[in-house]
Structure 1
């Protein structure tokens, strides 16, 4: 082979050898891009860190089938809906409330993030 092609192949091989295959790429990027595990909240017990509006299903044992959570820099709005029912709570940072039988605690809220704890209300 002419020297320029050999040199180009050697350079390409050294560059390619320095890259990890996609299967060995760090998983932290995937985890950082992935949103919260909303399915974990189906049983009414979870901790959520939200960066945008979220809607997810919950067990009908709470008298609801779906929660929608929105927030701004001052408050978090949790709306629960189901067949023929709607319940809503508007909460500030550090406060607690409930939507039907799901308790909500606002751990923190800002314009870009809300951290909540959900737990079943014991009766």
Structure 2
């Protein structure tokens, strides 16, 4: 291959390699991950599409909350060193796990909306 063609081919390959790829667009059905860090102080609103587990302040006597749900029941389980507390709640009901109040705002297959409130 003559030198001018080789240089032109290398220049074309280099220019293609330097073109940045576009980031894939988020799908319209994608659900944002809930802001679980905001729940550390025991006060937040959660919209869940699957079970979650997150840390909470030890001032509640527990250090972790785990939340799972079905179409009819939400289970909120608090654990810490040597302690476990849990509540089973239906849509519209309220309860507490240690000093964290839990209200089930809405509940349906595949989605639960909860409001947590610090009681201490």
Q: Per the alignment, do residues 43 and 81 of structure 1 end up closer, same or farther by CA in structure 2, a change over 3 Å counting? A: same
Deviations 1:58-104 (A, max 9, x none): 00000000000000010100000000000000000000000000000
Describe the SS at the equivalent of 2:92: coil
- Measure how far apart 1:111 and its partner are: 1.5
Q: What is the CA deviation profile of residues 10-66 of structure 1, one whole-angstrom value per residue up to 9, with x for unaligned ones?
A: xxxxxxxxxxx737x76x659x44311111100000000000010000000000000
Q: Secondary structure at 1:22's aligned position in 2?
A: coil
SS of 1:118's partner is strand
- The answer for the alignment partner of 2:44 in structure 1 is 46
1:92 is aligned to 2:73: no
Q: Which of 70, 73, 94 is the matching residue for 1:72? A: 70
Q: Distance in 2 between matches of 1:29 and 1:57?
A: 29
Aligned residue in 1 for 2:100: 102
What's the TM-score once normalised by structure 1's chain length? 0.74
* 5+ long unaligned stretches in structure 1: 1-20
Which consecutive aligned stretches of 4+ in structure 1 deviate over 2 angstroms post-superposition? none
**Corresponding position of 2:80:** 82
Structure showing the higher helix proportion among its residues: 1
Q: What is the distance in 2 between the residues matched to 1:94 and 1:82?
A: 27
Give the TM-score, by structure 2 length.
0.76
Aligned length: 100
